[in-house]
Amino acid sequence: MRIMIIGGGNVGFYLSKTLIASKHKIMIIEENPTHCERLVSNLDSKWVEVFLGDGTEVNCLRDAGIHHADVLIAVTGYDQNNLVACQLAKDYFGVKKTIARVKNPKNIRVFEKLGVDSVISSTESIANVINQELEWNDVNKLIREHSSSLRLREVQVRQAPWLIHHPLKDLGIPKGIIIIAILRRAQAIIPSGETILQEEDKIILWGEEQLISDFLHILSAN
Amino acid sequence: MFLIIAGCTQVGALLVKKFVDTGHNVVVIDRDKGNFDYLETGCNCLMIHGMPIDEDVLKEAGIERADALIAVTAEDNMNIMISQIAKHLYHVPHVMMQANHPERQAVLSAKGLHMICPIALTADHFYTSLLQKENSI
């Protein structure tokens, strides 16, 4: 695919690096000459073209070859610039898909209403992770009221690949800890000793707090 | 009329004065407190210090009941975003904006935005003034 990226700061730079690895052709427009130099000297010119200019201007987009782009991704640090870049790409140049980064998560709704196809907010992603964590804390608070030392914990199987391929009964899970559920895609599975974990699973552990932290320590050490 | 002016620039301050002096109800928003210095002392308008593309700030300014909004910040893209929020999300009856870059006018008036471009207006004015003079000689 040919991808036009507006904004060559940190987000644009690492995004390009990642996309090159999947063999996409990248065009980047960046208005700061120092950032442009970094892009040119650190990215393979076979895959990346760098343009100095304002990616919210029609002439600049045209010169950079927006007519060849299948997708436009706007990742400058300013929400208003990302909106205008996406709208120009879509309405004026007919680019099929537009993706924008927003700094203020409230702008997700605004951008979607104003025609941007996908809107991403790192602030919101982080907030979601924290909220999930908080929900666990609420559950644990409830448990603590009834028993001082029992806890629930969630573990990503991906973090401990040696858990995969063997039935649970052979994993040497210490006494005092049980796996009460496996979260696989959108399903919750109640496991038996014969259940085999998969890489994308999350497991929910129930047991003594000390035993669980020792076990997690062993998991990460392996 | 209840009017919101986004951007207490020199143009913004002049607009505030004109509307306040003729008895209208005006709220002016700017993200830079120092810009409120452009207003006359004792100006009878509400000043809101905040980012004018932030919906919370616009709501505080009363966008839900505004009769009109004029976006005259120093940044074209900011004005374009404010105007679209006002027009398409809050259905403000009259929305206008300033565009400093003449080429944006052609592109974005297609989005139904009422734009005023000072550079284009000035150039037109000089052009027609001179031609009129020449014809009258």
DSSP string for residues in chain A = -EEEEE--SHHHHHHHHHHHHTT-EEEEEES-HHHHHHHHHHS-TTTEEEEES-TTSHHHHHHTTGGG-SEEEE--S-HHHHHHHHHIIIIIT--SEEEEE-SSTTHHHHHHHTT-SEEE-HHHHHHHHHHHHHHHHHHHHHHHHH-SSEEEEEEEGGG-GGGBTSBGGGS-PPTTEEEEEEEETTEEE---TT-BB-TT-EEEEEEEHHHHHHHHHHHHH-
Interface touch B77/A84, C-beta < 8 Å: yes
| CATH number given to A2-121 | 3.40.50.720
A171-195 pLDDT, tens digit each? 888 888 888 888 888 778 889 888 9
Per-residue pLDDT, A134 = 66
Interface touch A87/B111, C-beta < 8 Å: yes
Per-residue pLDDT, A204 = 87
Q: Among B55, B56, B88, whose Cβ lies nearest the Cβ of A114?
A: B88
Per-residue pLDDT, B38 = 95
Q: Among B85, B101, B107, whose Cβ lies nearest the Cβ of A110?
A: B85
Give A184→chain B minimum CA distance, Å: 38
For chain A, list residues whose CB is within 8 angstroms of any CB belonging to chain B.
Answer: 56-59, 78-81, 83-84, 87-88, 91-92, 104, 106-107, 110, 113-114
Domain boundaries, chain B: 2-136
Between A206 and B10, whose confidence is greater? B10
Contact indicator for B69, B19 with CB cutoff of 8 Å: no
Least confident span in A33-37, A149-153, A172-176, B56-60: A149-153
Is the ipTM higher than 0.95? The answer is no
The CATH 3.30.70.1450 portion of chain A extends over 134-221
Per-residue pLDDT, A130 = 67
Listing from the earlier edge strand, what are the strands of the sheet with B68-71?
B46-49, B25-30, B2-6, B68-71, B94-98, B114-116
A149-160 pLDDT, tens digit each? 787 888 888 877
Pick one of 2.60.120.260, 3.40.190.10, 3.30.70.1450, 3.40.50.2000 as the CATH number of A134-221: 3.30.70.1450
Which residues on chain A are in Cβ contact (under 8 Å) with B77? 56, 78, 80-81, 83-84
Least confident span in A156-165, A171-180, B15-24, B87-96: A156-165
**CATH architecture classification, B2-136:** 3-Layer(aba) Sandwich (3.40)
Interface touch A84/B80, C-beta < 8 Å: yes
Would you say residue A221 has pLDDT above 80? no
Which residue is it, tokens 């603590």?
A144
Which residues on chain A are in Cβ contact (under 8 Å) with B56? 106
Give the start-end residues of each E strand in B9-98: 25-30, 46-49, 68-71, 94-98
Which residues on chain B are in Cβ contact (under 8 Å) with A114? 84, 88
Would you say residue A147 has pLDDT above 80? no
The CATH 3.40.50.720 portion of chain A extends over 2-121
